[in-house]
Amino acid sequence: MSLAAFVINLDQATERLIHFEAQARAAGILFERLSAVDGRLMAPAECAEWQDPAAIYPLSRPEIGCIRSHQKAWQNIIESGSDWGAVFEDDVCLSTELGAILEQTAQIPAEIDLIKLEAIADRRVLLGGTRSYLAGRPLRPLRGIALGSAGYLISNNACQRLLRATRLPSIPIDMYLFSRWHGAYRNLNVYVLLPLPVIQAHTLQTAPADVVFSSQISDRGKAMLPRLSLSKRLKREWFRIKAQVSGIGAEPVILEWR
């Protein structure tokens, strides 16, 4: 089973690319660089196409650029003809075992569409029971929300389905892919590999200072978020309740990196 690996990298972010190249070399990974879409440079009219009036929060320009960059990766996976693709953002720390893991994609069961590889430091995520293994590591279905889109495996078929979607994503890419009640999740079988071999450097306490890059995707602070109308506050609460109900019987697990 074939695999194509891509790293998303802004043209001006040369230090990030150097950092990723060193990580990939140590892990034994061959990859192709994709020029990221810089949402900050998008025209207002183009940004407006991505704004859904029904969305709880509007997308920022960097978030739109991030979505479009991941879409470029999906298109490249399709064009490569590979069965699976690995997609990374450029500010990650990679386990030295990741190359050996990626060599075993033939072990992935046919019903799985998307596998989260990125750890979330000190965060608990709801998971179902172990269904299968990849390179000796358990694969468990995601039952809740697991933020972060800096490292994942995605099937060629899933890429085609995502790019055929009739509606543009109206939430950040990590919520679109890894939130049970939003976006693509409802139509994909999403799993988590434990322990996870990818983590963003800024969340890793042991990362050297020179590889802890500031976010280029625009972290949402409370001051940036608009005041919600009553209908949108109710919608947000409804999503929270559904997420809690869907998690009944699931196990809260800390997504550790190794």
DSSP secondary structure string, 7-44?
EEE-TT-HHHHHHHHHHHHHHT---EEEEPP-GGGS-H
Instruction: Tell me if 1 sits within 8 A of 85, measured CB to CB.
Output: no
CB atoms within 10 A of CB 203: 20
What pTM does this model have? 0.88
Number of domains in the chain: 1
CATH, residue 244: 3.90.550
Q: What is the per-residue pLDDT for 53?
A: 80
Q: Which candidate, 94, 75, 68, places its Cα nearest to that of 173?
A: 68
Give the CA radius of gyration of the chain: 18
Q: What is the per-residue pLDDT for 124?
A: 86
Instruction: Tell me if 17 sits within 8 A of 90, measured CB to CB.
Output: yes
Estimate to the nearest angstrom the gap between the alpha carbon of 160 and the chain centroid: 17
User: In the chain, pLDDT over 70 holds for what percent of residues?
Assistant: 80
Q: Which candidate, 242, 143, 150, places its Cα nearest to that of 196?
A: 150
E strand or H helix at 140, and its extent? strand 137-141
Q: What is the per-residue pLDDT for 87?
A: 98
Residue numbers of the domain that contains 118: 3-254
In b/e form, how buried is each residue of 40-60, taking b as 16+ CB within 10 angstroms?
eebeeeebeebeeeeebbebb
> Residue 216 in 3-state DSSP?
coil
Q: What is the per-residue pLDDT for 221?
A: 45
Q: What is the per-residue pLDDT for 218?
A: 46
Structure tokens at 250: 């699931």
Residues of the chain with pLDDT under 50: 209, 217-223
Distance CA 51, CA 225 (A): 15
Distance CA 5, CA 243 (A): 32
Name the pairing type of β-strands 151-155 and 198-200.
Answer: unpaired
Kindly report, residue by residue over 168-189, the tens digit of the pLDDT: 888 899 989 998 766 665 679 9
The Cα-based distances of 67 to 7, 64, 116, 166 in angstroms read 14, 5, 17, 15
